[in-house]
Amino acid sequence: MTEVKKIAVIAGDGIGPEVVNEAIKVMKKTEELFGLRFEFEEGLFGGIAIDEKGTPLPADTLDMCKRADAVLLGAVGGPKWDNNSKELRPETGLLGIRKELGLFSNIRPAVVFDCLMEASTLKPEVLEGTDLIVVRELTGGIYFGEKFRRQGEAGEEAVDTCVYNVTEVERIVRQAFEVAMTRSKRLASVDKANVLETSRLWRETVNRIAPEYPEVELEHVLVDNCAMQLLRRPSSFDVIVTENMFGDILSDEAAMLTGSIGMLSSASLGEGSYGLYEPVHGSAPDIAGKGIANPIATILSVALMYRLTFGYHEAADRIEQAVKQVLDAGHRTGDIAVDPSKAIGTTEMGDLIIAAM
């Protein structure tokens, strides 16, 4: 029998538990089909953890994640906690867990499914063949820099600082080159080197590492241009690597190429094979508890976990094929449905995918 893998499950808030439930069903199906073995342990995280433990990232949840081989996360947040102080905000838990687990890169595939092109706002001829990955730096940059308010000459001022050191840039850039090597060997490094010093360090570092990967075709793209090119010629991108804030924005933009945020998986990786896997979307408070959320983003995150952390490629293929098959057969949750009256629910979608596996 295969070695037992420990999975830390932090379902979180809103639709988090609903979509995670379907993903776990899929994982259990792969145990049956491929002889894989998982041990699931659940922990509180996000808003629910604030309510029950007074902190978005309780110490026992963090320990559980550290003991695990991989983490499956739903989503956190909601209006209930929006006006809380910083320490009592679910998002603080997200930033914290990434930092504590040493997860320095976020990998987001954006794949356009042919049968879903109708759900996108872009023309099919623009979208055709789009299959890209955004590799985003996750623990540095302006989100983690010093922030403060001060009294300036013209009144109150707010300061956010953006800091990157060369080690942080090197490790993410190297990982992106590695990802590019497993795909069609094209890497676009995105920065704002015409204005930002951190971007100039970024670009110098990319250029220094590039000769180690002579097979990879490298281009430097300014972030504003990248935002445009993603809409104009998305299929020309393969792997995009960029810093934290640019990556946050560009990966959401790339998300929209695929028609729905309910389809997008993600991985956050550190050194080695350890990873945290989660859908790109948030807790969707507007549809939480209704049983209509699309579970595909979370299910595809499991496929990503199988590939990047466990090397279970056959099982990953099976999951991805089953998703495609169910979509090709015309089944849709509300977010991707052309005719919302025919939309199916979260559990139904999960069950259909499992049946197709």
Catalytic residue list: 143, 192, 224, 248, 252
| The residue to which tokens 């009256």 are assigned | 341
x/- mask, ligand NAI, residues 1-40, rule CB under 6 A, reads --------------x---x---------------------
Q: Could you tell me how far CA 89 lies from the centroid of its own chain?
A: 20
- Give the one entry of ligand NAI, Mg ion, none that residue 335 binds, where binding means its C-beta sits below a cut-off of 5 to 8 angstroms depending on kind: ligand NAI
- The dihedrals phi and psi of 201, each to the nearest 5 degrees, come to -65, -40
Q: Which is nearer to Mg ion, 198 or 244 (CB)?
A: 244
Q: How many CA atoms lie within 13 A of 317 on its CB side?
A: 5
Q: Please report whether residue 261 would count as binding ligand NAI according to CB under 6 A.
A: yes
248 binds Mg ion (CB under 5 A): yes
Q: Is 281 in the site for ligand NAI (CB under 6 A)?
A: yes
| Under 8 Å between Cβ of 302 and 73 | no
Which amino acid is it at 302? Answer: V
| Residue 248's binding partner out of Mg ion, ligand NAI, none, with CB under 5 to 8 Å set by partner kind | Mg ion
DSSP state of 288: T
Q: Which stretch binds Mg ion (CB under 5 A): 74-82, 170-178, 249-257, 262-270?
A: 249-257
Spatial distance between the Cα atoms of 27 and 19, rounded to a whole number of angstroms: 13
Residue at 14: amino acid letter = G
One DSSP character per residue, 23-74 reads: HHHHHHHHHHHH--EEEEEE---THHHHHHHSSSS-HHHHHHHHHSSEEEEE
Asked if residues 222 and 193 have their Cβ atoms less than 8 Å apart, the reply is: yes
Q: Which does 243 bind (CB under 5 to 8 A by kind): Mg ion, ligand NAI, none?
A: none
83 assigned to a ligand binding site:
yes
Q: Is 253 in the site for Mg ion (CB under 5 A)?
A: no
> How many residues in the shown chain lie near ligand NAI by CB under 6 A?
22
Site for ligand NAI in 54-93 (CB under 6 A): 75-78, 91
Could you list the residues that contact Mg ion (CB under 5 A)? 248, 252
- For binding to ligand NAI (CB under 6 A), which residues are involved? 15, 19, 75-78, 91, 94, 261-262, 278, 281-287, 293-294, 297, 335
